[in-house]
Amino acid sequence: MTKEPKLEHSDLSGEFEDDGVTVLVDIHRAAGSNDGWTLEVISQEEDVTTWEDSFATDNEAWEEFLATTERDGIRSFLGDDDSKSVH
């Protein structure tokens, strides 16, 4: 049985609302590590968008989320796919 590692969640994680759409922004890494931060966005319908590359800081991950939202719109995180990846 493989044990899932404990995660450290960034203080920047949380709900984000724009244009009547709310998503959960989850920025995390393995607890106690200096590994890069993973960025995931989860819609209310549980569509999950995960960035393939990690970020050096949680702030860089947050800035990427904001840039993607500005460029593609919040609705870009909604979709029919069970799972999506960006970058």
Show the tokens assigned to 4: 């899932």
Q: What is the pLDDT, as a whole number, of residue 56?
A: 97
The number of domains in the chain is 1
Domain coverage including residue 35 = 12-86
Q: Which residues pair with 7 in a beta bridge?
A: 30
- The one-letter amino acid at 46: E
* Residue 86 reports pLDDT greater than 80: no
Reduce the DSSP state of residue 60 to 3 states and report it: helix
Query: CA 11 to CA 3: how far, in whole Å?
Result: 25
Q: What's the whole-model pTM score? A: 0.86
* 33 in any annotated domain: yes
pLDDT tens for 15-61 read 999 999 999 999 999 999 999 999 999 999 999 999 999 999 999 99
* 59 in any annotated domain: yes
Q: What is the pLDDT, as a whole number, of residue 3?
A: 74
